[in-house]
Amino acid sequence: MSRSRHSAIKVTVLGMAVNAVLATIKLVTGIVGHSYALVADAVESFADIASSTIVWGSLIVSAKPPDAKHPYGHGKAESLAALAVGFMLSGAAFGIAVQAIDGIRNPHEAPAGFTLIVLIAVVIAKETMCRVSARVAKQSGSLVVAADAWHHRADAITSMVATVGISISLFAGRGYESADDWAALVASVIIMVNGIHFVRRAMGELMDEQPAADLLAHIESVASSVEGVRRIEKIMARKTGTKYLVDAHVEVDGDLPVRQAHSIAHRVKDRLREQIPSIVDVLVHIEPVRASAYDDL
């Protein structure tokens, strides 16, 4: 298992432990302190534990080497997990919104002051986890770890907005008891938007969507630099887990012997994997061209 994959698994397990502790604290504090926003936040944190479990499982599965049934590896497990996490984010947002609307329509007791202390601690803890997870996601190129990082930030956002809402209900006085419910409603919209974002990205990976144009241009540039390559006719790439599979249609002198053309194809593959570590495999298709076609260029 690579160091980046090991780091991704470790930060995911750490996130599960943090979520379990914080979710319990928030739930108890929310019930005792009469904060509906904090209870909703706790429910979202318990959902985080389930999503982190999915992330952890996908990282374990995707690390498995290719086999007879899965010659391209198991990397798509990460995309499937990212899709699940995106749906869970969206589902949590919907649940929070429903509960918040109910709180707005049915006035209740104002939250207790000590709930603010808990919320501030939660914001600090969750934003810290988000930054740590995001750094690991960037290093490994894992979409599912990036989604899990945003799950931590979503929790930080709900807690931060709840802090504002509870502060208003406490300091503005009578008639503002539902301010924390409005805060929870605003937070649900933010979470929903990001849940949809990760669903779209995961669907793109599952549908073998082409990567960013700058990566394709870099691949073409590296392949073109190989001696014997006249031109790159076409480059296609798709993501599997944190790595890319590349198909390259390479034009070479049509009068070359098969053995020599085959050698050029291997050099293209080796150079791409050497200079772009995120590429796990390359399929090179040789296209013949007449040398005379380039004599006048």
| Chain segment 21-50, per-residue pLDDT in tens | 888 888 888 788 877 667 767 777 777 787
Which runs of consecutive H residues, i.e. helices, occur in the chain? 3-32, 36-62, 76-105, 114-140, 143-171, 179-206, 213-224, 258-275
| One domain for residues 87 and 120 | yes
Of 180, 206, 232, the residue that ends a domain is 206
Residues 254-260: what's their mean pLDDT?
92
pLDDT of residue 217: 94
Instruction: Please choose, from the candidates 296, 278, 294, the residue with its C-alpha nearest in 3D space to the C-alpha of residue 228.
Output: 294
The pLDDT assigned to 55 comes to: 79
Claim to verify: residue 194 and residue 234 sit in the same structural domain? no
Same domain, 201 and 249: no
Strands 231-240 and 279-289: unpaired
155 with 52, same domain: the answer is yes
Residue found by looking up tokens 């090179």 in the block: 284
Same domain, 116 and 254: no
Quick: pLDDT tens for 180-208. 778 778 878 877 887 888 899 889 989 99
Are 189 and 224 contained in the same domain?
no
Express each pLDDT in 209-229 by its tens digit.
Answer: 998 899 999 999 999 999 999
CA distance 276 to 243: 10
State mean pLDDT over 257-273: 95
Spatial separation of the C-alpha atoms in residues 44 and 37, rounded to whole Å: 11
Average pLDDT over the chain, rounded to whole?
83
Verify that 217 and 117 share a domain, yes or no.
no
Q: Provide the pLDDT for residue 290.
A: 61
Query: 48 lies in which domain range?
Result: 3-206
Counting Cα atoms < 13 Å in the Cβ hemisphere of 74 gives 15
Kindly state whether residues 188 and 235 are assigned to the same domain.
Answer: no
- Supply the Cα-derived Rg of the chain in whole angstroms: 25
**CATH for 137:** 1.20.1510.10
